[in-house]
Chains A and B, each alone.
Chain A
Amino acid sequence: MPYIADEVDVIVVGAGHAGCEAALATARLGHSTILFAINLDSVAMMACNPSIGGTSKGHLVRELDALGGEMGKNIDKTYLQIKMLNTSKGPAVHSLRAQADKKRYSEEMTKIVTNTPNLKLKQGEVVQILSENSKVTGVRTATDSIYKAKCIILATGTYLKSICITGDYTVNSGPCGLQSANYLTDSLIDLGIEIYRFKTGTPCRIDKNTIDFSKIDMHPGDEKVIPFSFENYGKVISREQLPCHLTYTNANTHKVILDNLNRSPLYNGSIAGVGPRYCPSIETKLVRFQDKERHQIFLEPEGENSNEIYVQGMSSSLPEDVQIDMLRTVSGLENCEVTRIGYAIEYDCINPTQLKLSLELKNVEGLFTAGQINGSSGYEEAAAQGIIAGINAAMKIENKDPLILDRSDAYIGVLIDDLVTKGTEEPYRMMTSRAEYRLLLRQDNADMRLLEKGHDVGLIPEDRYQRFLHKKQVIAQEVDRLETTHVGTKPEIQDFLKANNSVELVSGITLSSLIRRPELTYEMLALIDKERPDLTEDIVDQINIFFKYEGYVQKQKEQVDHFKKLERKLLSIEIDYSKIPSLRTEAIQKLNEIKPTSVGQASRISGVSPADISVLLIYLEQVKRMAKQ
């Protein structure tokens, strides 16, 4: 017998990386929230690689932090190793990546979630979305309890009707042997939602004590630890780090795999889901890149108190015996013991073009989705969507406008716009090359770009906001000072320039002009700039970047201005495009499907041509003038 168990503002289904951020956001914004997990021991679990960040993903974590999210703080507490990637390249593509203590990451996040006011964490399987007139009213769990709510956020990860596959062994299970959710998909279909089936996979884990580390290269973390969270700048978060190791496959490994290809579910037809291009299994890599003599294998620790090592690069769904055989051909792994076998996992997700940019379903009011259910992959991509879905559920309840980040605001904006406007045919991974305004969307300035927005929404506490305003002011003052402070042709200046292989002055010049020279930096100028204030490192970075990339940044800002023009031309979701004369049939179909909110968004839909955009502009002008009459 169903019974009414509780009534709250928001229900979040799934307590992974998306679900935790979503629930924390709604609860922190003052809305009573229940967060359901299928198993309470799996909160913020890292089902695959034990790491956070990396190229573009590190950017997402920084952005999340600037909006008031938790992921950055949590990894700062639980990292095993931190590295800034791409330091040989410019600041726009510097990316922070951490190895995480998997268990501690989950524990720390559980601690935060369970100690947040307005937030209840519960174990249970949600089997049905309850709704009236296409508006959600609550959920029903497997035990027939009814929870009423104004908004529901689905963050089901890879659990919907999931199947794990290793060779011919197939099991109806979620990741890591956790129970799958087998009923919710049908409820979504009943609501008229289109379902996709995607596939991903994970490599096996092996026992640290069975690896011969003497044979393989060690990769330690950075000596100087830079935190993910802007809140931790200036604080000491360094601790003893654990190294990663690197080894390689070889001809023997390849022989084992290729000899057993007929036993691979990927190649004998038993896997139907669409796998991602960017993380193929080792068997796919061998088939597609036959000339490559060896493939890298990174050995990543899973935790301080764990002996398990994640074997990155060997994701596979080959039968267990083949996986073990292939691992044991690898240098250093000759005697390795497998603790968990690798598998492929298939799961249901939704076609994300059914979403608004706020991550609410277009045809089901109050229903939001975030993370892998939207066709993305990755913890960071999930968490980023989670906070946006959480914020927007809260905004909806408060009758406020949703928070929409656009492509020039943040990687989060690029991620959501790509999913919602273009859709995806494989699990979507963030990449820096997807961002048009990469020079503006840096990880170092995520707070400059987004903290104000986080504060407006209500997730950034006042004291943090004041510190941010102060930082902004200090930067502006110092930029101004450098632009107006002149140095002359005094011998000490010329000597300094000579010593640094920089052209000597013929007349006076500003300090800022010197910083613009490729061979000089703000730090180096300390010798000839005695009056300078004492600044923290993050501020020094901002100043260097400001002057060194001014030209490019200016160019990108102009492009952004141009881009914004069409973004500001709003389209109502009510428009029936078949009623607009002269749009081409394909455009009508796509526009009616996506229901873009601006002409800019419309212009990014495949199948909408520049002529269609002109037609839309004229149509808008027509509507505007008719309204005036």
Chain B
Amino acid sequence: MENSLTVAAISTPVGSGGISIIRISGENAFTIIKKIFVPKHTKDISEAKSHTIHFGIIADEGKTIDEVLVSVMKKPNTYTKEDIVEINCHGGIIPTQRVLDAVLKYGADLAEPGEFTKRAFLNGRLDLSQAESVIDLITAKTDLSRQSAVNQLEGSLSHKISALKNSVADLLSHIEVNIDYPEYDIEQLSIDTIETTVIQINTEIKSLLTTSDTGKIIREGISTAIVGKPNVGKSSLLNALIGEQRAIVTDIPGTTRDLIEEYVNLHGIPLKLVDTAGIRETEDVVEKIGVDLSRRAIDSAELILFILDNSSPISDEDISILERIKDKKHIIILNKSDLPEAIDFSILGDSINNVPIIKLSITQNTGLDDLEKTIKKIFMSGEIDVNNEVILTNVRHKNALNKAEESLSNVLTSIKLLHTQELLAIDLQNAYRYLGEITGESVSEDIIHSIFSRFCLGK
């Protein structure tokens, strides 16, 4: 076999179907599934006949994650010519991600883009004529994912992880300088300092990990544009959803000229909210820029929240906006529901059949719950296409954090066993590498550089 590592990935588009498939390929595929799958009828999943499917639950440490169907396929008659297990779970973003998390936790590595096909080819499954297309697949996907992996790190999170990484680097370079320059008058790093620092770093990683489930770690959420004519309450809705005053809210139409992006989490569903400038024909140059940006935001959005004013009739402007968004998944929001109703939907005809309509009043704080529930329903039912990369990035980051945490715990165990510092350095280096994977920096020369910049050495 060309690859000894066992890899896993979500092999269906996330969110767009009722079912997601998580595929595991490699020599440990059966060992891993055995650890997380509780079959209903089958005795031992790793002993099951090849090419059979089994019902049961995926559980981690006794906690049920999802009800699933598991297919087992033994080598060599599989796509990759390796042992393959496929977990069919519910299609929502959250269960899919949790199942994949569990698979990674018990020993699989996250597959690189195009990895299954690459293995299929390297193991002789695909014929020679397909080589070029395999290469194209790998390069196209990889460039995209590396780029997005780094881009998707939220600014503050990136800072936090960089800071953790720097603390590990400081420890490491100090250990290394003590080893490589034993006779220099550089303070010997004490085991106590290492222990305290590692505990501190690990506590922070753990707290990052607990919030990662609710999506804080994802920068990109479902791209959601808030649209509507000027002064209909777009910024107010944004503020209500994020729970604080960010966008400038005034009574003057056209106040919002830049796009404002905010990341929120509605019951575990990550949204990237974009507040657009009101769309209308305008002569004001500054506002025109804002309007152009809004149009682009609509084109790239996956979900649109279209706000209408309950207290005034539907205008031409409203109709032209609706025309613009009709091919996008959208929700109509009737704001100012506390004011007398003056709106009449009949002029819109059939175009709003099947479109959910939510009545709310932002100033009175009513109806927001309904909106959140509706968004969740649409999302869970898989009506929105979510960029697969977003989910994978999140899994990748979380996985790296988990491994960093594990490496640091090993450091603490080694300290208890009275191991010397060059041994502690091994796990510290691993932790450093995993953190570096998240921030997307290469780490090879880092430590040596850090040694020479921090310590005064010389002949």
Contacts and interface: CB of A to CB of B under 8 A. Distances in A.
A90 B135 contact: no
A288 B453 CA distance: 9
Contacts of B342: none
Nearest to B452: A277
B143 to A, nearest CB: 7
A49 B182 CA distance: 17
B142 A614 contact: yes
B458 A282 contact: yes
B139 A89 contact: no
B180 A431 contact: yes
A90 B422 contact: yes
B132 A581 contact: yes
A85 B458 contact: no
Interface string A79-95: 00000011011101101
B112 A614 contact: yes
Contacts of A615: 135, 138-139
A609 B442 CA distance: 11
B343 interface: no
A203 B458 CA distance: 11
Interface stretch (B114-122, B333-341, B362-370): B114-122
Contacts of A169: none
B185 interface: yes
A315 B139 contact: no
Contact of A565 (B4, B178, B180): B4
A617 B456 contact: no
A220 B266 CA distance: 70
Contact of B135 (A285, A556, A618): A618
Contacts of A202: 459
Contacts of B136: 582
Nearest to B2: A617
Tell me whether chain B's interface is mostly helix, strand or loop, or mixed.
helix
A518 B419 CA distance: 8
A278 B418 contact: no
A628 B135 CA distance: 21
| Size class of the B contact interface (CB-based, 8 Å) | 35 or more
A312 B452 contact: no
B451 interface: yes
A256 B417 CA distance: 50
Given A89-B179, A288-B456, A433-B179, A626 B128 contact: yes
B426 interface: yes
A282 B2 CA distance: 53
B423 A552 contact: yes
A564 to B, nearest CB: 11
B183 interface: yes
A311 B459 CA distance: 8
B131 interface: yes
B286 interface: no
A48 interface: yes
Contacts of A552: 423, 426
A433 B448 contact: yes
B301 to A, nearest CB: 30
A203 B419 CA distance: 39
A284 interface: yes
Contacts of A549: 423
B128 A86 contact: no
Nearest to A83: B183
B181 A625 contact: no
B458 A617 contact: no
Contacts of A439: 422-423, 426
A278 B451 CA distance: 9
Interface stretch (A22-30, A289-297, A469-477, A539-547): A289-297
A622 B121 CA distance: 9
Nearest to A548: B419
Interface string A593-629: 0000000000000100111001101110110011001
4 A-B pairs closest in CB distance: A611-B142, A277-B452, A90-B420, A289-B456
Given A279-B458, A629-B128, 6 more contacts: A48-B459, A49-B459, A89-B420, A433-B179, A614-B118, A618-B131
23 contacts: A49-B459, A55-B182, A89-B178, A89-B421, A90-B419, A93-B422, A279-B457, A281-B458, A282-B458, A313-B458, A315-B458, A315-B459, A432-B422, A433-B447, A518-B417, A549-B423, A562-B4, A581-B132, A582-B132, A582-B139, A614-B138, A614-B142, A618-B121
